């Protein structure tokens, strides 16, 4: 077994030397100066930390503002795109309606346009550039406004030309006739009828 060398007794000199070496050698004034220095360093570190936190807050605030601006710009652009899309859709519907009314021999398509709207919007859908279910949409309108559809034929003779009939004289023929020809018994009835037809 190994022999332990040591003594439990410590000399007074050794105790005194150890105590002297481990005890700080500051006077109360030096302690105050040291504490002030520590406080100053601590205050500087705290201010630097607060400054960095404030800069980080500002950076985050700027990021949020930029995100808000981009979001607002995105939403504005989206609204404008939707409005443009609606306008284009309305123009396409109007053009399709005008073509369909023209093809249906409408005399005044622009006057009939409002009959195909409800609350300012067209009440039909497009299918490949044409109006879906056009015949069913047109039937009630065509029935109610018969005079607005088809070709109007004016019956009668043009007064400036007279009638091409051999039974009547034209205006130019009457102008060229002499008084004797006007009053001739064979022309009298024909002249009177021609004048009534012209005038």
If phi over 0 gives left and psi between -120 and 50 gives alpha, with beta otherwise, what is residue 154?
beta
Do the domain assignments include residue 171?
A: yes
The answer to whether residues 141 and 107 belong to one domain is yes
Q: Quick one: 107 and 142 in the same domain? A: yes
Percent of the chain clearing pLDDT 90 (strictly above)? 3
CA 194 from centre of chain:
66
Q: What is the pLDDT of residues 40-93, one digit of tens each?
A: 888 888 888 888 888 888 888 888 888 878 888 888 888 998 999 989 888 888
User: Are residues 124 and 141 in contact, defined by beta-carbon separation less than 8 angstroms?
Assistant: no
Number of domains into which the chain is organized: 2
DSSP conformation letters of 34-79? HHHHHHHHHHHHHHHHHHHHHHHHHHHHHHHHHHHHHHHHHHHHHH
| Structure confidence at residue 82 (pLDDT) | 92
Q: Could you tell me which residue, 194 or 86, shows the higher pLDDT?
A: 86
Confidence band, pLDDT 50/70/90 cuts, at residue 151: low
Mean pLDDT of the chain: 78
**In the listed set 148, 172, 188, which residue is the last one of a domain according to the structure?**
148
Same domain, 120 and 166: no
**133 in the same domain as 99:** yes
100 plus 136 within the same structural domain: yes
Residue 144 inside a domain? The answer is yes
> Could you tell me the pLDDT band of residue 10, with boundaries at 50, 70 and 90?
low
- Higher-scoring residue by pLDDT: 45, 165: 45
pLDDT at 162: 47
| Mean pLDDT of all residues in 15-42 | 72
Residue 176 counted as domain residue: yes
Residue 1 lies in a domain: no
Is residue 154 one of the residues assigned to a domain?
no
Q: Is residue 60 part of a domain?
A: no
Range of 196's domain?
A: 162-199
CB atoms within 10 A of CB 134: 17
Determine, yes or no, domain membership for 116: yes
């Amino acid at each position: 077994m190994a022999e332990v060398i040591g003594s439990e007794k410590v000399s007074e000199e050794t105790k005194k030397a150890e105590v002297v070496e481990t005890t700080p050698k500051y006077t109360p004034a030096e302690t105050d100066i040291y504490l002030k220095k520590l406080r100053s360093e601590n205050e500087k570190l705290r201010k630097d930390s607060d400054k960095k936190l404030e800069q980080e807050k500002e950076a985050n605030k700027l990021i949020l503002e930029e995100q808000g601006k981009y979001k607002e710009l995105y939403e504005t652009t989206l609204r404008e795109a939707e409005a443009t899309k609606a306008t284009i859709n309305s123009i396409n519907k109007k053009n399709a309606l005008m073509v369909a009314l023209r093809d249906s021999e409408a005399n005044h398509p622009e006057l009939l346009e409002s009959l195909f709207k409800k609350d300012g919007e067209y009440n039909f859908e497009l299918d490949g550039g044409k109006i879906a279910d056009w015949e069913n949409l047109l039937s009630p309108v065509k029935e109610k406004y018969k005079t607005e559809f088809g070709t109007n034929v004016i019956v009668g003779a043009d007064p400036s030309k007279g009638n091409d009939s051999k039974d009547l004289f034209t205006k130019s023929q009457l102008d060229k006739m002499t008084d004797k020809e006007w009053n001739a018994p064979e022309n009298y009835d024909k002249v009177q009828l021609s004048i009534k037809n012209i005038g």
